[in-house]
Amino acid sequence: MGRSGGPNHEDVFIAPLIKIVSRTVTIAPMTTGSHPAPYRIPVRFRGRDGLILLDRLRILDKQRLTRRLGVITIFTLRHTLAVLHEMFEE
Amino acid at 33: G
- The C-alpha atoms of residue 57 and residue 70 are separated, in whole angstroms, by 19
- The C-alpha atoms of residue 76 and residue 51 are separated, in whole angstroms, by 11
**84: phi then psi, degrees, rounded to nearest 5:** -60, -45
Domains of the chain, start order? 23-88 (2.30.30.110)
pLDDT at 74 over 70: yes
pLDDT digits (tens, 9 = 90+) for 12-66: 445 555 666 789 999 999 999 989 999 999 999 989 999 999 999 999 999 998 9
User: 38 CB contacts (<8 Å, ≥6 apart)?
Assistant: 83
pTM: 0.72
